[in-house]
Amino acid sequence: MKDILMMLLNGIPWTIAVTVLAFCVGVVLGFPICALRMSRVKVLSILAAMLVLTLRSIPPIVWLFFIFFGIGGGYISLSPFTAAVVGLGLITAAHMSEVYRGAFAAIPAGQFEAAYVLNLSAPQRFFDVVLPQLVRIAIPTSATYAIGLLKDSAVASTIGVGEISFQAYQVSQQTFQGLSVYTAAAVVYLVLSVPVALFSRWLSATLKQRIAR
């Protein structure tokens, strides 16, 4: 088991890199998509809703194949790693836009009214009133999705990214010890997921205390 774990360690940097970069892409792109989704311009809101529905409805593996073998095969040269980050990043953006939208709706209306009464500027209302509360509300759901994304990163193995699942498949083919190999892979995923959950709880509690002051 120790030898198998050592071989699986080669896939950890790739798994972490795909997960972190895809999540960062999703966190950033999620804001403009959320803004369009909440726009008072009906056409923009409908287009954003259709985009979110499309990105969330099609399985990640289909998106990765479409980007790597479709776009990457005939139009733009993409490495397996880049295609995985782009594909999972776009899917994450769709999910994060909905997380932001739900968090925004959860902020009490009185907070916005108080900001107007205090005559705060638009940037001050957003950065001092809305954003801290939005982040605190969104953290638990975002962390849950991040853990799911860590597991979903396994689909990157289908286009040749050498992450944990890819390494597990290679090792199982070499050693013919499928049960031991995939048990070890499950342990590795668990070890990677637990710190994310603990960190999100700590961050959520910290932000809650600061906002309450």
How far is 82 from 201, CA to CA, in rounded Å? Answer: 31
Give residue-wise pLDDT tens across range 29-67: 999 999 999 999 999 999 999 999 999 999 999 999 999
Helix then strand then coil, % of the chain, to nearest 5: 90, 0, 10
Q: What is the pLDDT of residues 188-212, one digit of tens each?
A: 899 998 888 888 888 777 766 765 5
Alpha-carbon distance of 207 to 22, in angstroms, equals: 24
CB contact at 8 A, 81 and 21: no
pLDDT given at position 7: 80
Give all domains of the chain, ordered by start, each with its CATH number. 1-212 (1.10.3720.10)
What does the pLDDT look like over 134-180, one tens digit per residue? 888 888 889 889 999 999 999 999 998 989 999 998 888 888 888 88
Mean pLDDT, the chain, integer: 88
- The 10s digit of each residue's pLDDT in 61-93 is 999 999 999 988 777 889 999 999 999 999 999
Which pLDDT belongs to residue 213?
Answer: 54
The number of C-alpha atoms within 13 Å of 99 and in the hemisphere containing its C-beta is 27
Cα(210)–Cα(213) distance, integer angstroms: 5
